[in-house]
Amino acid sequence: MKKTAVIAITGILLLLAGCNKKKEEKEETAIYPVTTALQKDTIVTKDYVAQIQSVKNIEIRAQEKGFLQNIYVDEGQPVRAGQTLFRIMPQIYQAEYMKAKAEVEQAQIELQNATTLASNDIVSKNEKAMAKAKLDAANAEARLAQLHLSFTDVKAPFSGIINRLPLKLGSLVDEGDLLTNLSDNGDVYAYFNVSEPEYLNYQTHISERGNQQVNLIMANGETFPQQGVIQTIEGEFDNETGNIAFRAKFPNPQKILRNGETGKIQMTVTLKNTLIIPQKATYEIQDQTYVFVVDKNGNVKSRNIQISYELPDIYVISGGLNPGERFLTGGVQKVKDGEKVQTRFEDPKKVMQSLKLNAD
């Protein structure tokens, strides 16, 4: 009986020792990694919705009234400068031009007669001057009639692509009616809107803006092969949106881009001495982002931070953390606000090197 009791007590002691050992191992593993925000120059990329417009994009409108007699082009067809696109019934204007030419010939004859008579003192010099004025007026009318006749042939002012043709052959055309649009897509503009704070940063931090080159992400998600250059900024802000439009110019040698397309402008900005932290060190509550700051005694305190840019695996922060303050990079979901923990410091450069950002 005594022997059995001794064995039982020994088993209990061994069991307790095992439990204590497991508890100690558990306590030993509860050491949380901490680091500080890495302060360095960082290049960030911001996307902006862009509207594509051809550098040359105009409306071709009728300058004379009449029936649309000929259409020499088709929708989407490339044309060259000076090529005839449409012909508006020219017969009336041809007749007016012929009449004006006849009046010029008549006035020339009258001037010759008046010149001969004036040289023989048969008529006054005023008669000759009146004949000369009549000839000048006839020449002006002839030039005007010829101009009206030329307007019946509608020609391309520059090389480009024909857009939709709203009128069909034989349609009655009035002066000013739209015949088509013509776009030269050799170069295109990309317009994109920038908020007021971003505009002010762009204008006041010239040394941090990097170069003026931007990339264009097309609607299919692919990057346009040519880089663009920011050329100008509009003169005033939109009162409704609070944004201002930037304009970038892109070469378009393959004519991939066309007027009216959409895309995204990618603009890079260099941030000086900014603070960056790993995303895994944060958690969210009601659309607010927090980290657990750890003081020198190991006490954990929740801290709201302000994020200015998001990059792969990291946040660029603009407030909430000071340089040198330690925060948890692991176990964020396990600890509680106000809890005291054991920590292990990790060099911020090594932490970042394990992510997608190279902190060297």
- Spatial neighbors of 52 by CB under 8 A, at least 6 apart, are 188, 189, 190, 257, 258, 259, 260, 261, 262, 263
Instruction: pLDDT tens for the chain, 360 residues: list them.
Output: 444 544 555 555 555 555 555 555 444 557 999 999 999 888 788 899 999 999 999 999 998 888 999 999 999 999 999 999 999 887 777 778 788 888 888 888 877 877 887 777 776 777 777 878 888 888 888 888 788 888 888 999 999 999 999 999 989 999 899 999 999 989 999 999 998 888 887 887 666 565 678 999 999 999 999 999 999 999 899 988 999 999 999 999 998 999 999 999 998 877 778 899 999 999 999 889 999 999 999 999 999 999 988 888 999 998 999 999 999 999 898 899 999 999 999 999 999 888 854 443
Taking Cα atoms as reference points, which of 252, 257, 77, 71 lies closest to residue 182?
Answer: 77
Instruction: Go through the domains of the chain in sequence order and give each one's CATH number.
Output: 46-55+187-271 (2.40.30.170), 64-181 (2.40.50.100)
Distance in Å from the first CA to the final CA of the chain = 72
Backbone torsion region of residue 279, taken as left when φ is above 0, otherwise alpha when ψ lies between -120 and 50, otherwise beta: alpha
Instruction: Decide if 185 contacts 259 (C-beta within 8 A).
Output: yes
Residue 345: the pLDDT is 94
Residue 15: the pLDDT is 56
Residue 356: the pLDDT is 57
Residue 200: the pLDDT is 84
Instruction: Output the six-digit token pair for 232.
Output: 């100008």
Q: For residue 83, count other CB atoms closer than 10 A to its CB.
A: 14
Backbone torsion region of residue 210, taken as left when φ is above 0, otherwise alpha when ψ lies between -120 and 50, otherwise beta: left
Give start and end residues of each alpha helix (H) in the chain.
Answer: 2-29, 91-119, 125-150, 196-204, 348-353
The Cα–Cα gap between 352 and 311 comes to 12
Whole-model pTM over 0.85: no
Pairing of strands 213-218, 178-195: unpaired
Question: How many Å separate Cα 81 from the centre of its chain?
Answer: 29
